[in-house]
Structure 1
Amino acid sequence: MFDPVIAPSGTLLGLLQRGRGDGTLHALTAPRAEALAALNHCVLRDPRHDWQVENRSLYYARLYLDLNGELDAIETHLFDPEDVLDSDESRTGLALAVLGHLASYGRLDALQLLRRYAAHGVNWAWALDELALRDDDAGLRALAAPVLARFPRDPEGDAELAAAVRDAFEPRPWRLWAEDARESIATRVRAAHETGCFDRWQRQMSPSGPRPGWSVRAVFEWAQQGVERGAALHVPAAR
């Protein structure tokens, strides 16, 4: 993840980068071209230090709606040759999330961009998750073939497909594809789902992380440690 460069807080760009409410007001009173340039800068160069704790996509999506902003800059960014070289989610994640919100608001151009990127982009799984919440069944079924084509029909490709199905944030597309009328697609997705379920079961049965020793001896040793340090072992905080 790159370290974002944040503009001064008194500038339009700085306000939008920080997600300030008055940033929207300044953007709506600024020249439209200037406001869109600042907005595109934020969406294409994620200004957040940690996207997992700061939600900014809805804020930017609503501003696109208020400005009636075109999506040409986002399209160019998503399908830039750099997409093949840089698979980090931080490069495209915010743009895809913004498109997801815009699709929810009825922006057909945003929906079509998400479909194209899910079929051809490197960060396709994120785009597919956005579509899982917004697209109709027909749109999702049309993506089955290009998505499955990413996984070669060999043991390694099948293992990668099983992992993708198992770890999918939104399972709706995979469930649709498992019931697809095209037998070649349905059979492969069902097999991947079964493999993923078995892998999850194996990991639960044989965890690789540290395991507490809750034998009788371990319990008595734990209790003795509490006595020695003067902790009250009967209170909830000691559990």
Structure 2
Amino acid sequence: MFVDSVDSDIAPSGTLLGLLQRGRGDGTLHALAAPRVEALSALRQCMLNDPRRDWQVENRSLYYARLHTELDAGLDQIEAHLFHPDDLLPADRPEERTGLALSVLGHLASYGDHEALLLLRRYAATGANWQWALDELAVRDEDAGLRTLGPAVMARFPLTAEGDAELAEAARNAFEPRPWRLWAEDPARPDQAKRLHRMQERGSFDRWQRQLSTPGPRPGWSVREVLAWAAEGSVNTLGEAPTAHREAAAARCLAAVAGPDDRGQLLAAASGGP
């Protein structure tokens, strides 16, 4: 989430809320020393109204999950936030509203909070930001629990050409492939497994086609061309999130094409880049 530096929702740094919003280490100490009602209010404000400028570069979920455990905060407020009617409204980036709360639930589930695990399962089955919840479950839930989610997730994609294309894209873009593999190998649901196997075959063919006609870096590209290609994905004229994130791919390309003579150009890009 991007917060305006002039007119923002960030509280002054000397307040308990301001400390927690900034992820300050002493914020936890102040929260534990403050009246419990005040500490819970500040913590919930942070978890349910993501204060980070960019959730992709600031990790705050473990910080809040630990404090949540120390305060024995309960899950009622998180549940109400996740299943609020706003969750059903169309949104370009639903992760901004629910991503932090889902990540906190993931850590709580890792700590053995079974209610947090059940809440993640429920949201993965019915919530708008279901892919985030599924990724949290993929590294924490048991195989049996993940298998039960297969029908609900598959039902999101109609049995049409468009639905199959969306299903293939969702499976391809998943951070954690484990649930999809379990669903494709589930003997209790042969129709589901057959559909996913068909999508995997189609995905392999599409990947082969993309490799033949990729607009990205090709053999023979120079360091300058790779840097220009990476910069195209971070062009941001309206103060919004970048349309593409090519840094990792560009770094791999640079490792292959850069030589000692390119050192000055790389240093200049590193010092002046976004």
TM-score class, shorter: 0.7 to 0.9
Which of 106, 123, 128 is 1:122 aligned to? 128
Give the superposition deviation at 1:31. Answer: 1.2
**Counterpart of 2:73?**
69
Q: Given the alignment of the two structures, is residue 190 of structure 1 paired with residue 202 of structure 2, yes or no? A: no
Give the superposition deviation at 1:123. Answer: 0.5
Which of 195, 199, 202 is 2:209 aligned to? 202
- 8 Å contact 2:20–2:43 — kept in the other structure? yes
My pick for the range that moved more, 86-95 or 119-128, is: 86-95
1:120-154 Cα offsets, whole Å, 9 max, x none, are 00110000000000000110000000000000000
The structure with the larger Rg is 1
- 8 Å contact 1:166–1:197 — kept in the other structure? no
Which of 41, 57, 62 is 2:61 aligned to? 57
Q: Given the alignment of the two structures, is residue 15 of structure 1 paired with residue 19 of structure 2, yes or no? A: yes
Q: Which amino acid aligns with 1:160?
A: E
CA distance in 2, matches of 1:236, 1:137: 49
**Counterpart of 1:48?**
52
CA distance in 2, matches of 1:159, 1:129: 20
Is the alpha carbon distance of 1:162 and 1:20 closer, same or farther for their aligned partners in structure 2, counting shifts above 3 Å?
same
Give the superposition deviation at 1:52. Answer: 1.1
Q: Given the alignment of the two structures, is residue 155 of structure 1 paired with residue 161 of structure 2, yes or no? A: yes
1:34-87 Cα offsets, whole Å, 9 max, x none, are 111110100111110011111100000000110111111111110011111153
Q: Given the alignment of the two structures, is residue 166 of structure 1 paired with residue 172 of structure 2, yes or no? A: yes
- 8 Å contact 2:61–2:104 — kept in the other structure? yes
CA distance in 2, matches of 1:119, 1:236: 52
Q: Which amino acid aligns with 1:168?
A: A
SS in 1 for 2:202: helix
**Counterpart of 2:35?**
31
SS in 2 for 1:95: helix
Give the superposition deviation at 1:185. Answer: 1.0
Count of residue pairs the alignment pairs up: 220
Q: Runs (4+) of structure 1 moved beyond 4 Å?
A: 210-214
**Counterpart of 1:176?**
182
TM-score scaled by length of structure 1: 0.88
SS in 2 for 1:134: coil
1:71-114 Cα offsets, whole Å, 9 max, x none, are 11111110011111153211111111110000000011110110
- 8 Å contact 2:2–2:52 — kept in the other structure? no
Q: Given the alignment of the two structures, is residue 108 of structure 1 paired with residue 114 of structure 2, yes or no? A: yes
Q: Which amino acid aligns with 1:10?
A: G
- 8 Å contact 1:165–1:196 — kept in the other structure? no
CA distance in 2, matches of 1:57, 1:34: 20
TM-score scaled by length of structure 2: 0.77
**Counterpart of 1:228?**
none
CA distance in 1, matches of 2:38, 2:101: 19
SS in 2 for 1:69: coil
Q: Which amino acid aligns with 1:183?
A: P
Q: Which amino acid aligns with 1:236?
A: P
Q: Given the alignment of the two structures, is residue 238 of structure 1 paired with residue 262 of structure 2, yes or no? A: yes
CA distance in 2, matches of 1:59, 1:39: 10
Unpaired segments ≥5 residues, structure 1: 215-233
SS in 1 for 2:136: helix
**Counterpart of 1:142?**
148
Which of 98, 104, 111 is 2:104 aligned to? 98
